[in-house]
Amino acid sequence: MTFRKYLVLAGVTVFAAAGDSMLSYGMKQTGNISLDHLGSLVAAVLNPWIAVGIVFLLAFFASYMNALSWADLTYVLPATSLGYVLLALIARLVLHEHVSPLRWLGIALIAGGVSFVAGGPALTSHKHPEKSHTPESEADTVAGTVRSGDSYQGMPSGVPSSPSESIPLGQPWKSGP
């Protein structure tokens, strides 16, 4: 895995922990809100801590989507769960929340599980027999129907089915060979 990919995973972890921490701090300042009173919701969003938390969570989603574009969900989600460790440290040291020994044990188990996932491949490969595409099979694939004996093979031809086939941003999409 490249340094850039490690940086993306670190971004997912840090942005989520920072965003959640800022939301928590801001909500403690704001107090209870109700969906029945739109004014309280607007006031909460206008709290600077909550607004910055939302920005960090948007950065989290952008990093998360980037990571999912080149790795399996079963790799990305556990690899970024180190955010739970970071979040517990922030909650204890910055927000002064009590973290029970049982929670610390759970966090240690999560961190241990991450080491198992990090040792595996980021993207699993699936070998599918090549299938000839006819206009009828293309239409069936797009419509989501499968005839007996057929199996779903992924995206129709011309649509990237893996990150290695992805089209770089800003590049025109070309269908066909």
In a domain, 139, yes or no: no
CA-CA distances (angstroms) from residue 116 to 67, 75, 78, 99, 109? 18, 10, 9, 25, 11
Of residues 137 and 42, the one with the higher pLDDT is: 42
- Lowest-pLDDT choice from 59-63, 93-97, 141-145, 160-164: 141-145
Q: Which residues span the domain enclosing 46?
A: 3-118
Tokens of 138: 């293309």
The whole-number average pLDDT for the span 120-135 is: 59
In a domain, 160, yes or no: no
Looking at the domain assignment, is residue 127 inside a domain?
no
Domain count along the chain? 1
Do the domain assignments include residue 46?
yes
In this predicted structure, the answer to whether residue 8 has a pLDDT above a threshold of 80 is: yes
pLDDT at 67: 93
Over residues 111-132, the mean pLDDT reads: 66
- Flag whether 108 is in a domain: yes
Task: Tell me the pLDDT tens digit for each residue of 70-94.
Answer: 988 888 888 788 888 888 899 899 9
